[in-house]
Structure 1
Amino acid sequence: MNDTKFFPTNKALVTVIAASVVVIIALGIRQTFGMFYFDFATDLDITITQFGFTMGLQLLLWGVFSPMFGIITDKYGGNIAIFIGFVFYLLAILLFYSGFNTGYYFTITIGILVGVGLGSTAISIPVSVVAKHFPVSSRTIATGIVTSAGSFGYFISPLITRYSLVEHGWENTMLFFCFFLGLGLIVALFVSTPKIPVGTNQNNNQTAREALKEAFSNKSYIYLTLGFFVCGWHIALVATHIPTYMIDKGLPDWCAAMVLALIGLFNMVGTITSGYLATRYSQKILLSAIYLLRGVSIIYFIFLPPSVFNSVIFGITFGMLWLSTVPPTNGIIGKVFGTKYIGLLYGIVFVSHQIGSFLGAYLSGVFYELNGNFDYAWYISIALSIFAGLIHLPIKEKPIERPQIA
């Protein structure tokens, strides 16, 4: 293997490309669900509390199933795990399009089945598989590329979806989603896991249970897990409720699609930059800075007069920070614990992220129905930014020392 090459092997290159396509499809579609709310409210009689709960449940199950798919990935390969996830995702949208879309069916299809599908198709598993192909020196850049691809999905999907909703209606838009999810089934087969992950000690006979016990006895892992909860709250609040928030503020209905697109566009820059900085500087300091800057971006957005200009600034700044937490979070796990069980360990951290997502989506909807606005949700977001900025500082980034087997 030539260490001067960024891609250690051809298989690593193919895996990065395939993983990037996977997250473009999975995250791109997921990002647009908030844009359907008014159609769902009119045609399916979905309330904002039910919508928020369903989106929150989707995010929660996404997190709960991530470590389960992580176990499948670490044992059988990422392609198997991601393929299964796309089966659930495609089944959900097909059932929804076929008429299973009101009352409890809405929660079962969009909430439960999509949530399970996202557990392996969106970020955590593709990123973990890619991490196994790269050494520490370039791992965060490689995972940043995949995360950035997801950001491209965030950028392009709101624009395409808005056009499709206006020209073809929400039913046909769902049918278009099925085509892309079918493509995802094929691409998933090329997300291959190396037989011997790069950076793994071949004499490491640690079991998955031992890896979990080791991680949960490590305070740095706990701090990282708590911090990722905040990331989930922020993303779910914005992705789920920003269309309603902006219309309530008297902004044009196209403004929400623009903000979501800007978030996706500038997060491509943010995640690549984050991945690069994580190879040069302390990853815990980088994470602290990202969370604190999110708080600054939110303060700017909610306390200044609502306008298209201020919305653009928010889309750009929050976009730079959107998924930029992923490369350093994944990087710390790989650096401290190695890559053998990185799918499982990152999956557990991601559960915390999705618990935050569930609460961010659901409670924000509850606040809105009780008070007629999202003010309390934004205030909590600012407080959580400060908490996350501080909780990462005690993290120790050194590799864990294990007893050597003679």
Structure 2
Amino acid sequence: MAVSGRSGFAHPYIVLACGAGIVTLSMGIRQAFGLYMRPIELELGVSREAFGLAIAVQTLMLGIAQPFIGALADKYGSGRLAMVGGLLYALSLVLAGLAAGAVGINLSLGFLTGLAMTGVTFVVILGAVGRAVPAEKRGMAIGITTAGGSFGQFLLVPITQGLISEFGWRETLFISAAIALLMVPLARGVAGVSESSSFSKSQPQQSLRQALSEAGQHSGFWLLNIGFFVCGFHVSFIATHLPAFLSDQGLDPAIGARALALIGLFNILGSYVFGLSADKLRKKYVLSALYFARGAVIVLFLAFPFTPLTATLFASAIGFLWLGTVPLTSGLVGQIFGVKYLATLFGIVFMCHQIGGFLGAWLAGRFFSETGSYDLAWQISIALALVAGVVNLPIADRPVARTQMA
């Protein structure tokens, strides 16, 4: 499994370990942002809609910039982009800790954090991992890397809640900035993965423009975009608003933090299981079943009284289904179009994920401001789960046939 590259850190296991470490830190810090909503609301008077807008801006920024960052990663390697992303991430958290109102929160935790995350989350890191490992083990490797984000959520969310309770939200953001800096040395481990490491040289040579044209004419590519839009809506809505929703039901704030941690814990298992299934089963059917299962879990959660037990069961179930979409969706992109431009093409699909995330984070806050309830956001989540389950079924998932390209 050894591969060659521009740096000495191109062995698949090193790429996998460092990539998983980066995703662990970046996603662990990010998934705790919902815990800052109430403290910031109480101290600065920033409404839930305004805070939700900041997370929505962050989500949208990550999505809009991701195809371009993915293209840079495909051309120059992932290491430099991950290093810059880690530095910007830390800076954005420091600026958020210094914010005095909604504008500062939106610029720091919104715009700058979103831009920083483009270099240290799934697209850039999974692009490196996808090229570093053999095709028959790609799903499992991507699943392990994705699980790193969930491990970070399980590890850092309760720590973040404890730090906020002990020191305050500003000081906790400064501590999180220091943690984010650990991504900078890890970026060295995902550098130098050459494109020759994983896709066959027997395939016709293809330019980026040809790859984009090919994907744009493939119906399955757009169906994957629709499905991943739904995933983004679910993840952003729940991660941003679940702690506040549970508090509104009279539950202790610690229950919300525990719920986010459990989502992370069970997604470690879910990401691995769905990553493994991406190597063993037909991906589109597993992906469809996952979305249908999400809708069923939400329906059951809303059907019972809100207690610490039902919150725990919901978090565990939705956590198992949380990011299993990532190895399946990215695996389908690589399976259909190859991995030469995996970061670019998955970056486009991920952009739709983030547009969905923008709407999930912002609209839920908007609905709450207007109605005093999250009911409409939950109902939309159920309907979207059904849509995503349906649109993944007809995807033509065979590798595209290519003639020799100039």
| TM-score category (smaller protein) | over 0.9
8 Å contact kept, 1:141–1:275: yes
Q: Distance in 1 between matches of 2:231 and 2:301?
A: 18
The superposition leaves residues 183-219 of structure 1 with CA deviations (integer Å, 9 ceiling, x where unpaired) of: 1111112112422130243654311121111101000
The superposition leaves residues 62-116 of structure 1 with CA deviations (integer Å, 9 ceiling, x where unpaired) of: 111111110111111100111121222112112223x234231211101000000
8 Å contact kept, 1:200–1:340: no
Match of 1:330 in 2: 330
Q: CA deviation at 1:164?
A: 0.6
Q: Which amino acid aligns with 2:322?
A: W
Q: CA deviation at 1:240?
A: 0.4
TM-score (norm 2): 0.96
Match of 1:240 in 2: 240
Q: Which amino acid aligns with 1:139?
A: R
The superposition leaves residues 197-255 of structure 1 with CA deviations (integer Å, 9 ceiling, x where unpaired) of: 30243654311121111101000111011100000000011000011100111112111
Match of 2:60 in 1: 60
Match of 1:6 in 2: none
Percent identical among aligned pairs is 35
Q: Which amino acid aligns with 1:213?
A: S
Match of 2:384 in 1: 384
Q: Distance in 2 between matches of 1:400 and 1:135?
A: 19
Q: Aligned ranges for residues 99-110 of structure 1 at < 5 Å?
A: 99-110=98-109
Match of 2:38 in 1: 38
The superposition leaves residues 303-332 of structure 1 with CA deviations (integer Å, 9 ceiling, x where unpaired) of: 211111111110110000000000111111
8 Å contact kept, 2:79–2:191: yes
TM-score (norm 1): 0.96
Q: CA deviation at 1:382?
A: 0.3
Match of 1:356 in 2: 356
Structure 1 residues 118 and 2: alpha-carbon distance in aligned structure 2, compared to 1, 3 A threshold: closer
8 Å contact kept, 1:132–1:193: no
Q: Does 1:174 align with 2:210?
A: no
Q: Distance in 2 between matches of 1:95 and 1:245?
A: 27
* Matched residue SS, 1:140: helix
Q: Does 1:219 align with 2:219?
A: yes
Q: CA deviation at 1:133?
A: 1.1
Match of 1:291 in 2: 291
Structure 1 residues 76 and 10: alpha-carbon distance in aligned structure 2, compared to 1, 3 A threshold: closer
Q: Distance in 2 between matches of 1:200 and 1:360?
A: 39
Q: Distance in 1 between matches of 2:214 and 2:318?
A: 35
Match of 1:158 in 2: 157
Q: Does 1:146 align with 2:152?
A: no
Q: Distance in 2 between matches of 1:295 and 1:253?
A: 25
8 Å contact kept, 2:155–2:261: yes
Q: Which amino acid aligns with 1:117?
A: A
Q: CA deviation at 1:175?
A: 1.4
8 Å contact kept, 1:31–1:239: yes
Q: Which amino acid aligns with 2:188?
A: L
Aligned residues between the structures: 400
Q: Which amino acid aligns with 1:264?
A: G
Q: Which amino acid aligns with 1:340?
A: K
8 Å contact kept, 2:205–2:405: no
Q: Which amino acid aligns with 2:376?
A: Y
8 Å contact kept, 1:335–1:398: yes
The superposition leaves residues 128-174 of structure 1 with CA deviations (integer Å, 9 ceiling, x where unpaired) of: 21001122211000000000111101111111011111111112211
8 Å contact kept, 1:65–1:120: no
Q: Distance in 1 between matches of 2:337 and 2:65?
A: 21
Structure 1 residues 325 and 44: alpha-carbon distance in aligned structure 2, compared to 1, 3 A threshold: same
Q: Distance in 2 between matches of 1:122 and 1:216?
A: 24
The alignment's C-alpha RMSD in Å is 1.6
Q: In structure 1, list runs of 5 or more residues that go unmatched.
A: 4-8
* Matched residue SS, 1:189: helix
Q: Distance in 2 between matches of 1:254 and 1:104?
A: 28
8 Å contact kept, 2:28–2:152: yes
Match of 1:21 in 2: 21
8 Å contact kept, 2:226–2:352: yes
Q: Which amino acid aligns with 2:120?
A: T
Q: In structure 2, list runs of 5 or more residues that go unmatched.
A: 4-8
Q: Distance in 2 between matches of 1:165 and 1:104?
A: 22
Moved more, 231-240 or 83-92: 83-92
Runs of 4+ off more than 6 Å: none
Moved more, 325-334 or 168-177: 168-177
Match of 2:278 in 1: 278
Q: Distance in 2 between matches of 1:94 and 1:186?
A: 19
8 Å contact kept, 2:140–2:276: yes
8 Å contact kept, 1:79–1:191: yes
